[in-house]
Chain A
Amino acid sequence: MSSALLSVRDLHVDFTTYNQTHKVLKGINLDIPPHSQIALVGESGSGKTVTMKAIMGLLRQPLARITAGEMYYDGRDLLTMPDKERVALRGTAMSMIFQDPMTSLNPVFTIGDQMRTILKYADRRLGRTRSARERKVRVLEVLGQVRMRDPERVFQSYPIMLSGGMRQRVLIAMALLSEPKLLIADEPGTALDVTTQAQILKLMKDLVEERGLALLMITHNLGVVRETCSYVYVMNKGVVVEHGSTADLFAAPQEDYTKALIAAVPRLTGETRFGTVEAMR
């Protein structure tokens, strides 16, 4: 056992569909120290989202099965702890930020209603009590933390009344409501324009630093990794093929897969040679 906030050891996950079993994760190892910014990067289907769901305890059983491995949060064994404790951790100690603001927000309730409800359930799980007024104060405070100019107006708004960037910031605010120690973001901002995405990434980086959080950033975009994280795990076909500090890994990738992945990214300086990607598949 390490001093990591979250550690994943030799995690295996199988999916069974139509009586066929697919090995989707084949022995994942990850360590997320407190206050660290860690990226999990890989191409479509490599198993990033499944890893995230396994950590959050959101895999749908019996379709998905953890067949081997261990996971520890703050030294506590996630796979053997009672369901009630597991549920209490989710959304409180570890929080998630989803990719698509439109599908994760309910169009018929105001942002304020949705956030107050989330807070109420988080409080209940933690055995905490707060009056309705105190909840509103907390929600407005967090909306301010994600740099909303007018938290009161956002509180009263329906999702449709906000821009894409504002909705993404609402999702970040929701994840921060119960002061988690670990934030897991699955492709945040990929649905947004590049100027808005840059702001969201900067906001996440600032928040993580200000609030001393640990961040697990899940993405297929190597540029996003380099902008936001100091350590990176590269995933391919259900295994971690390489990991290291962002600076080292980008400067001197060791594995052919990582080399090819980095080479395939077009460069803003215009010296990309297409045709170097044969090693990939």
Chain B
Amino acid sequence: MIRPVLEVIDLCKSFPVRSPFGRLTGEVKAVNNVSFSIGRGKVYGLAGESGSGKSTIARMIMGLTPPTSGDILLDGEDIGSTGGSPAHRRKVQMVFQNPGSSLNPRRSVSQSITVPLHANGLPRADRARRVTELLDMVQLPASYAERYPHELSGGQKQRVAIARALAVAPKLLVLDEPTSALDVSVQAKVIDLLVDLGRQLDLTFLFISHDLSLMRNFAEKVGVLYLGSLVETGRTSVVFENPRHDYTRLLLASVPVVSAEEEAMRPRIPLIDGEIPTAEQLLALRKAGGGEA
């Protein structure tokens, strides 16, 4: 049997909730018993609205925050003990939403890209060659190595962030809303690039987004997160054409679309008019430490 690149088993994360005076008043279950796995070369999408726990899951996979309980297996190995170590970082890298703030404004492109290479112990002489190679992968000219972030457009910055993530040749790339700050034409090019790179380098992706239309076109499988729990999972085409959970239906019904064909496949449910608590209000309640929804 082929081992999945990533296996997440019964993952939970709680955060303490404190009163303005620092007294512990309860806890938020940001991630609640989440399980999924991603096969080699596949794209798995995590969809959900603000506060549903997407970034918290990403941070646990990156070893940036420890789970309250549950296991994360990378290539069959529990990251529990190695979380955040160089060995772990060689397997998984992340691209963040905002290319502006994830690149250090005082580092040139080449310096940004070589940070992970230092940690990886690549000899200095080989680094310049590797930078050119990486820029080529993300379709930027070699001359861009000497530019600074303020000399780049949003899409170019995101390409540099991708090049930096690829520097250590990871197996898994975690993409947390990688294009949500970009124009649609730029987004299309970045997604294009990711699709290409995935094929060329046999990369596996965890793709986090609240944009369901984008997810439909990029991820083979999808998990819908609501209040920290996966309420529905499956092949993207199946989930989108036959959503079974009410929340998935509400999400799909809410997507603004550009064609009659899309409109026809959108579930028809009356959009709540402030009378019933909306997803957002439930989330706000929970953020305020209001307990289980």
**Which residues in A have some Cβ–Cβ distance to B below 8 Å?**
43-44, 147-149, 163-165, 169, 192-199, 201-203, 220-224, 226-227, 250, 260-262, 264-272, 274-277, 280-281
Q: Which residues of A contact B189 (CB under 8 A)?
A: 274, 277
Known: A264-B185, A269-B265, A274-B188. A193 touches B255 (CB 8 A): no
- In whole Å, how far is A25's beta carbon from the nearest beta carbon of chain B? 19
Per-position binary interface string of chain B over residues 235-262, scored 1 when its CB falls under 8 Å from any chain A CB and 0 otherwise: 0110010000000001111111111011
A193 contacts B280, CB within 8 Å? Answer: yes
B266 contacts A268, CB within 8 Å? Answer: yes
A44 contacts B210, CB within 8 Å? Answer: no
Most buried by A among B212, B252, B262: B262
Provide the bound-state CA to CA distance between A165 and B281, in Å. 8
Q: Which residues of A contact B281 (CB under 8 A)?
A: 163, 165
Per-position binary interface string of chain B over residues 279-292, scored 1 when its CB falls under 8 Å from any chain A CB and 0 otherwise: 11100100000000
Closest to B284 in A: A163
Other-chain residue from B49, B185, B188, B255 in contact with A223 (beta carbon distance below 8 A): B255
B1 at the binding interface (Cβ < 8 Å):
no
Q: Which residues of B contact A220 (CB under 8 A)?
A: 183-184
Q: Which residues of B contact A277 (CB under 8 A)?
A: 185, 188-189, 192
A281 contacts B185, CB within 8 Å? Answer: yes
Provide the bound-state CA to CA distance between A34 and B236, in Å. 44
Provide the bound-state CA to CA distance between A97 and B148, in Å. 36
A199 contacts B217, CB within 8 Å? Answer: no
**Which residues in B have some Cβ–Cβ distance to A below 8 Å?**
49-50, 154, 183-185, 187-189, 191-192, 195, 210-214, 216-218, 236-237, 240, 250-259, 261-262, 265-266, 271-275, 278-281, 284
- In whole Å, how far is A75's beta carbon from the nearest beta carbon of chain B? 35
Provide the bound-state CA to CA distance between A262 and B189, in Å. 14
Q: Which residues of A contact B217 (CB under 8 A)?
A: 266-267, 270-272, 274
Other-chain residue from B188, B255, B284 in contact with A194 (beta carbon distance below 8 A): B255
- In whole Å, how far is A253's beta carbon from the nearest beta carbon of chain B? 11
Known: A223-B255, A226-B256. A266 touches B211 (CB 8 A): yes
A224 contacts B256, CB within 8 Å? Answer: yes
B216 contacts A267, CB within 8 Å? Answer: yes
Most buried by B among A149, A264, A266, A267: A266
List 20 A–B pairs whose Cβ atoms lie within 8 Å, in order of A's numbering. Answer: A43-B183, A44-B154, A164-B280, A194-B251, A195-B250, A195-B279, A197-B254, A199-B273, A199-B278, A224-B256, A226-B258, A250-B258, A266-B188, A266-B216, A267-B213, A267-B257, A267-B259, A268-B266, A269-B216, A274-B188
Provide the bound-state CA to CA distance between A266 and B49, in Å. 18
Other-chain residue from A44, A265, A270, A281 in contact with B258 (beta carbon distance below 8 A): A265
- In whole Å, how far is B237's beta carbon from the nearest beta carbon of chain A? 6
A268 contacts B252, CB within 8 Å? Answer: yes
Known: A195-B280, A267-B259, A268-B257. A43 touches B265 (CB 8 A): no
Closest to A165 in B: B280
